[in-house]
């Protein structure tokens, strides 16, 4: 992951002895070993963070023992009375438990990211050097700006502190010089976005020190590492669609969270601070307020209006709700939603317009305000949102995810309807009951304050209040209409995020036909409900996928024309990036995995598919003893097998199959698994063959389903999916059915060689094959990307699910048929989303899992030790305990 030869070498890979130790451990032990290894690799970050916490605790305890309040003022200084000691102390000491927690987490995160690239010594030197240099530059810049802007008195007397993050931010930005372009962009965009939130809305000199410490650290990193290996130069306007969406989403978050920063900041000197909520410890002077409202031009009128609005709970709530709308729009733009982009253009253009109206117009009644002050306020609050809206409009083609027209129309109707209704309530009440206000408003005054009831109070800071409510009902109307409107807007904004393009039935029908043109052993699973489809440009091949947590998780590899499968992977990946998804190919075979690895992808083996060659099928020899025993026992019990489609089976057989499945599901602590595991609904497809065992009394004892694989319209193989048995049926019933399927395909080939199938696949158990440490394909041997940890985490999940679904016992059960083993893989491109990928896989298999069921799983399931699993596996093998393996069979 390094950019050039100057990067310090990573730690050596684990030896083969360590790898063997990993293989012999349980998944939980492996995960604990991963955490121990991570703690060892990040010992520097953990030590520094722990030292920071200890220093603060000791400082708090020292004052607590003496029963003294902590002197927070000792951590502040100003440019007017500059003192180096409190400035230095503020780098290590915090004011509250909340600040300690936040700063500790930030320090730990920054050092964990920086130290693997820089090493301990360079991390320390770069951190200190950039902190000192950034502080000096930041303070000098603040002093120069205060002189140029004519605000020397205000800035010079502003008390400020330094954030402990100043100490480490330079190391993080220096480390980006050693990383590849993708990580370099992400860290810098997110890092500078967070810093700009503080600078623009807080604006004290300490915030500028943080900014310049980051810039200086980035410069130092570039000097150490040299130029990046990439030849292309990145620019926001010419970057990929995905990166443009991330940039605009990050800026949207800045504009949304900024007012909160300004509100909670101890100092308010940022250029956008006047957009924040107007909170103050001062109270309204009722006498001065009354005089101002009756037309007297006093110097403190603007402050009294601001305090009055800030004292109204409804007005404050009305000012918080727009922030939620802004966050929803920012997230929507990150996802590439066109509706979010268009609404952002409208929203921020309206913000700029109302900023001009409510910052310029009110000053016409107060001649004491100076034009330069008006210009600066208008520039800060109108120009920045307007520029953002213009930039979004320029890049609008990059936001291609369209909202369902039906949902869009309903949401627009809800917004317009709520605004009209709330406006009507306000206008009618204020005009019909003027006695509930002071002074009593005229119709002109009511209409003049109409839009003010819907605007955040940040826009009304310096505007005049025409009248105030004197009764509870009037106060409810005056403050409530704006809240109702913004609540509707918040609900609509988040509803838009979940409303994508209408389901493409034509694409589904086309994919159904393509599956019959060509595919692999598990390609029929792509026709199941829940999948969406990407079609190639020629229309001769496709990829089935589902989007979970921003992950486009495929259902096996491409299908259709085999000549296009490699190019399909490339084109589908680009399609996902254009939609701000991260592509992940799940359950792909060796050929697809090798193609993706050549392109720089990573992979984890998740299991072995078991293949039987029908032409070579036989049950002679010692290894086949269990299978012969199951077949002979079925004959003695009078059990026969029947093969047909579900719809062609007798009605009573259909009812019994559904009854067996329901009985099986009710015995599980978790719901039936989905994704690549079929259930009764998938069993009913007329193209699926059902093989069931029935006794002489007409009682169905067990049932299996087999999915077809086609090549140019001819079935060339069958894949086992559905496996269920009736409670009380004899041991070996599943061995009997699978053996009969293999024998049937063998006999079919002997009788009609033209119809000979090439394989009978027993599929593979989900999430098996994850125990081997060497299976992980990490980015590097230091496991920075956490690939091995994801592997072991999924193995732990498989162990937790084992008592309910029997994946590993199912795996051992299929080994009885002496199959050929064909590995299947997860292939992913972006190692930054490994945790998200793990969650997406679990959600794909258990889409209906509730929180209560998850708790039940954790309380009821206990991961088995290696010895317990081996003991159980041996016992199962000796007794042909097929009951333990009755489950869903697919990967």
What is the distance between the alpha carbons of residues 351 and 330, in angstroms, rounded to a whole number?
15
What is the distance between the alpha carbons of residues 300 and 302, in angstroms, rounded to a whole number?
6
182-219 pLDDT tens trace: 677 778 877 887 787 777 766 678 888 999 999 999 99
- Given pLDDT bands bounded at 50, 70 and 90, which one contains residue 641? very high
Name the more confident of 283 and 713.
713
In 3-state terms the chain splits into helix, strand, coil percentages (rounded to 5) of 60, 10, 30
Name the more confident of 378 and 366.
378
Q: Which domains does the chain have, with CATH numbers?
A: 42-239 (1.20.1540)
Average pLDDT over residues 563-577: 92
Which regions of 92-154 does DSSP assign to beta strands (E)?
A: none
- The SS3 call for residue 158 is coil
Residue 108: per-residue pLDDT? 92
Residue 773: per-residue pLDDT? 36
Q: Report yes or no: 144 and 100 within 8 Å, Cβ to Cβ.
A: no
Find the range with the poorest average confidence among 84-88, 706-710, 779-783: 779-783
Q: Among candidates 780, 774, 869, 871, which has minimal Cα distance to 823? A: 774
Provide, rounded to the nearest whole percent, the portion of the chain with pLDDT above 90: 22
Residue 592: per-residue pLDDT? 92
Q: Report yes or no: 76 and 90 within 8 Å, Cβ to Cβ.
A: yes
- The SS3 call for residue 393 is helix
**Three-state SS letters, 412-461:** HHHHHHHHHHHHHHHHHHHHHCHHHEECCCCHHHHHHCCHHHCCCHHHHC
Name the more confident of 23 and 177.
177
Q: Report yes or no: 526 and 509 within 8 Å, Cβ to Cβ.
A: no
Residue 145: per-residue pLDDT? 67
Average pLDDT over residues 159-172: 87
Measure CA 591 to chain center: 30
CA distances to 112, 190, 395, 578 from 239, rounded to whole Å, are: 28, 16, 11, 12
Is the bond into 439 cis (omega within 30 degrees of 0)? yes
CA distances to 551, 569, 661 from 565, rounded to whole Å, are: 20, 6, 36
* Residue 290: pLDDT over 70: no
Average pLDDT over residues 239-256: 76
Residue 861: per-residue pLDDT? 43
Residue 459: per-residue pLDDT? 54
Q: Output DSSP code: residue 160.
A: B
CB atoms within 10 A of CB 744: 20
* Residue 14: pLDDT over 60: no
What is the distance between the alpha carbons of residues 693 and 126, in angstroms, rounded to a whole number?
72
Average pLDDT over residues 244-266: 73
Mean pLDDT: which of 22-36, 80-94, 643-657 is highest?
643-657
* Residue 364: pLDDT over 60: no
- Given pLDDT bands bounded at 50, 70 and 90, which one contains residue 231? very low
**Which residues lie below 8 Å from residue 515, measured CB to CB, with a gap of 6+?**
523, 524, 526, 527, 559, 560, 710
Name the more confident of 37 and 664.
37
Name the more confident of 709 and 87.
709
- The SS3 call for residue 584 is strand
Residue 22: per-residue pLDDT? 47
Q: Among candidates 583, 569, 882, which has minimal Cα distance to 727? A: 882
446-474 pLDDT tens trace: 887 787 777 776 555 555 666 777 888 88
Q: Output DSSP code: residue 375.
A: H
CA distances to 314, 362, 594 from 358, rounded to whole Å, are: 20, 6, 62
* Residue 500: pLDDT over 90: no
Provide, rounded to the nearest whole percent, the portion of the chain with pLDDT above 70: 69
Q: Among candidates 56, 121, 126, 138, which has minimal Cα distance to 91? A: 56
Which helix (DSSP H) or strand (DSSP E) does residue 402 occupy?
Answer: none
Say if residue 809 is exposed, middle or buried (CB neighbours under 10 Å; 0-12, 13-18, 19+).
buried
Q: Which two tokens stand for residue 642?
A: 């029947």
CA distances to 49, 100, 111, 483, 492 from 54, rounded to whole Å, are: 9, 11, 18, 45, 47
Average pLDDT over residues 81-109: 84
**Which residues lie below 8 Å from residue 613, measured CB to CB, with a gap of 6+?**
759, 820
Q: Which two tokens stand for residue 174?
A: 């220096």
What is the distance between the alpha carbons of residues 484 and 480, in angstroms, rounded to a whole number?
6
Average pLDDT over residues 241-264: 74
Residue 775: per-residue pLDDT? 41
Residue 796: per-residue pLDDT? 61
Q: Any alpha helices (H) in 730-786, and if so which ranges?
A: 733-751
Q: Interior CA angle at 675 toward 669 and 678, to 5°?
A: 75
Measure CA 115 to chain center: 26
Residue 581: per-residue pLDDT? 87
Q: Interior CA angle at 516 toward 511 and 522, to 5°?
A: 85
Residue 368: per-residue pLDDT? 42
Measure CA 516 to chain center: 35
**Which residues lie below 8 Å from residue 751, measured CB to CB, with a gap of 6+?**
none
Average pLDDT over residues 540-554: 91
Q: Interior CA angle at 208 toward 207 and 213, to 5°?
A: 100
Find the range with the poorest average confidence among 262-276, 280-294, 721-735, 874-888: 874-888
* Residue 253: pLDDT over 50: yes
- Count H helices and E strands in the chain, helices first: 32, 14
Average pLDDT over residues 580-601: 90
CA distances to 511, 520, 534, 646, 687 from 516, rounded to whole Å, are: 9, 11, 16, 20, 10
Q: Report yes or no: 695 and 868 within 8 Å, Cβ to Cβ.
A: no
CA distances to 75, 100, 460 from 64, rounded to whole Å, are: 17, 17, 44
What is the distance between the alpha carbons of residues 570 and 554, in angstroms, rounded to a whole number?
13
What is the distance between the alpha carbons of residues 793 and 790, in angstroms, rounded to a whole number?
5
Which helix (DSSP H) or strand (DSSP E) does residue 369 occupy?
Answer: none
824-874 pLDDT tens trace: 888 988 777 777 787 888 788 777 666 665 555 555 444 444 444 444 333
Q: Report yes or no: 178 and 221 within 8 Å, Cβ to Cβ.
A: yes
Mean predicted lDDT score pLDDT of the chain: 76
Q: Which two tokens stand for residue 409?
A: 């129309």
Name the more confident of 88 and 268.
88
Say if residue 92 is exposed, middle or buried (CB neighbours under 10 Å; 0-12, 13-18, 19+).
middle
What is the distance between the alpha carbons of residues 215 and 218, in angstroms, rounded to a whole number?
5
**Which residues lie below 8 Å from residue 350, measured CB to CB, with a gap of 6+?**
none
Phi, psi angle pair for 617, to nearest 5°: -70, 135
Q: Among candidates 464, 470, 467, which has minimal Cα distance to 301? A: 464
DSSP of 624-670: GHHHHHHHHHHHHTT-EEEEE-TTTS-HHHHHHHHHHHHHHHHT-SS
CA atoms within 13 Å, Cβ hemisphere of 457: 25
- Given pLDDT bands bounded at 50, 70 and 90, which one contains residue 559? very high
Average pLDDT over residues 242-271: 69
Average pLDDT over residues 117-122: 89
What is the distance between the alpha carbons of residues 233 and 195, in angstroms, rounded to a whole number?
24
What is the distance between the alpha carbons of residues 166 and 146, in angstroms, rounded to a whole number?
22
Q: Among candidates 249, 412, 243, which has minimal Cα distance to 327? A: 249
- The SS3 call for residue 229 is coil
Q: Among candidates 454, 515, 448, which has minimal Cα distance to 482? A: 454
CA atoms within 13 Å, Cβ hemisphere of 255: 29
Find the range with the poorest average confidence among 219-233, 351-365, 594-608: 351-365
What is the distance between the alpha carbons of residues 165 and 161, in angstroms, rounded to a whole number?
12
């Amino acid at each position: 992951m390094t950019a050039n030869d100057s990067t310090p070498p990573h730690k050596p890979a684990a030896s083969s002895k360590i790898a063997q130790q990993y293989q012999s451990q349980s998944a939980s032990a492996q995960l604990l070993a991963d955490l121990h290894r991570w703690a060892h690799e990040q010992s520097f970050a953990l030590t520094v963070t722990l030292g920071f916490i200890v220093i603060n605790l000791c400082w708090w305890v020292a004052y607590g023992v003496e029963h003294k309040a902590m002197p927070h003022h000792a951590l502040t200084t100003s440019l007017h009375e500059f003192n180096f000691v409190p400035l230095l102390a503020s780098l290590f000491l915090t004011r509250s438990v909340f600040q300690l927690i936040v700063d500790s987490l930030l320090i730990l995160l920054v050092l964990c990211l920086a130290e693997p690239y820089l090493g301990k010594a360079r991390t320390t030197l770069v951190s200190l050097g950039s902190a000192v240099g950034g502080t000096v530059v930041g303070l000098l810049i603040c002093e120069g700006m205060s002189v140029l802007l004519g605000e020397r008195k205000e800035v010079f007397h502003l008390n400020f502190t330094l954030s402990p993050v100043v100490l480490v931010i330079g190391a993080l930005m220096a480390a980006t010089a050693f990383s590849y372009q993708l990580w370099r962009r992400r860290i810098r965009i997110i890092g500078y976005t967070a810093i700009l939130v503080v600078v623009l809305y807080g604006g004290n000199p300490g915030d500028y020190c943080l900014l310049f410490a980051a810039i200086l650290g980035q410069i130092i990193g570039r000097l150490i590492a040299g130029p990046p290996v990439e030849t292309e130069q990145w620019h926001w306007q010419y970057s990929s669609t995905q990166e443009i969406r991330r940039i605009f989403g990050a800026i949207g978050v800045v504009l949304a969270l900024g007012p909160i920063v300004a509100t909670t900041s101890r100092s308010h000197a940022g250029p956008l601070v006047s957009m924040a909520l107007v909170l103050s410890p001062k109270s309204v002077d009722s006498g001065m307020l009354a005089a101002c409202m009756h037309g007297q031009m006093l110097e403190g009128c603007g402050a009294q209006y601001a305090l009055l609005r800030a004292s109204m709970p409804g007005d404050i709530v009305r000012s918080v709700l727009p922030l939620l709308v802004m966050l929803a729009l920012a997230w929507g733009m990150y996802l590439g939603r066109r509706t979010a982009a268009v609404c952002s253009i409208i929203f921020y253009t309206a913000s700029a317009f109302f900023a001009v109206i409510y910052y310029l117009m009110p000053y016409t009644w107060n001649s004491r305000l100076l034009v330069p002050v008006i210009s600066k306020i208008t520039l800060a609050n109108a120009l920045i949102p307007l520029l953002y809206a213009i930039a979004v409009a320029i890049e609008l083609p990059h936001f291609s995810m369209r909202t369902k027209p039906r949902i869009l129309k309903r949401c627009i109707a809800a917004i317009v309807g709520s605004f009209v209704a709330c406006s009507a309530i306000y206008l009618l009440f204020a005009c019909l009951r003027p006695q509930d206000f002071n002074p009593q408003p005229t119709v002109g005054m009511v209409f003049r304050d109409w839009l003010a009831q819907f605007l955040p109070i940040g826009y009304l800071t310096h505007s005049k209040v025409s009248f105030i409510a004197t009764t509870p009902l009037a106060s409810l109307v005056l403050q409530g209409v704006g809240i109702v409107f913004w609540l509707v807007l918040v609900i609509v904004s988040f509803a838009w995020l979940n409303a994508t393009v209408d389901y493409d039935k034509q694409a589904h029908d086309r994919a159904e036909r393509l599956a019959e043109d060509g595919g692999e052993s598990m390609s029929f699973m792509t026709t199941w409900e829940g999948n969406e489809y990407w079609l190639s440009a020629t229309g001769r091949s496709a990829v089935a996928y589902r989007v979970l947590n921003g992950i486009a998780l495929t259902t096996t590899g491409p299908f259709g024309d085999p000549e296009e499968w490699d190019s399909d992977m490339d084109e589908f990946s680009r399609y996902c990036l254009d939609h701000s998804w991260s592509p992940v190919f799940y359950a792909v075979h060796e050929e697809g995995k090798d193609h993706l690895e050549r392109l720089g992808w990573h992979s984890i083996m998740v299991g072995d598919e078991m293949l039987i060659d029908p032409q070579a099928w036989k049950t002679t020899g010692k290894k086949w003893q269990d299978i012969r025993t199951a077949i002979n026992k079925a004959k003695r019990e009078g059990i026969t097998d029947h093969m047909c489609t579900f719809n062609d089976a007798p009605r009573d057989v259909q009812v019994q199959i559904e009854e067996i499945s329901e009985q099986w599901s009710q015995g599980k602590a978790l719901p039936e698994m989905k994704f690549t595991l079929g259930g009764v609904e998938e069993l009913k497809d007329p193209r699926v063959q059902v093989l069931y065992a029935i006794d002489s009394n007409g009682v169905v004892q067990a049932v299996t389903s087999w999915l077809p694989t086609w090549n140019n319209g001819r079935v060339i193989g069958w894949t086992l999916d559905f496996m269920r048995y009736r409670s009380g049926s004899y041991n070996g019933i599943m061995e009997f059915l699978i053996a009969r399927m293999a024998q049937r395909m063998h006999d079919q080939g002997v009788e009609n060689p033209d119809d000979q199938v090439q394989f009978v696949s027993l599929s593979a158990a989900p999430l098996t094959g994850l125990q081997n440490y060497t299976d992980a394909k990490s980015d590097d041997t230091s496991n920075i990307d956490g690939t091995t940890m994801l592997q072991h985490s999924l193995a732990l999940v498989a162990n937790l699910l084992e008592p309910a679904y029997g994946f590993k016992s199912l795996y051992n059960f299929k080994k009885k048929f002496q199959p050929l083993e064909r590995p299947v893989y997860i292939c992913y491109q972006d190692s930054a989303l490994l945790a998200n990928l793990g969650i997406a896989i679990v959600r794909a298999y258990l889409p209906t899992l509730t929180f209560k069921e998850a708790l039940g799983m954790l309380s009821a399931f206990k991961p088995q030790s290696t010895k317990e699993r081996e003991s159980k596996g041996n016992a199962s093998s000796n007794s042909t305990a097929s009951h333990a393996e009755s489950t869903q069979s697919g990967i």
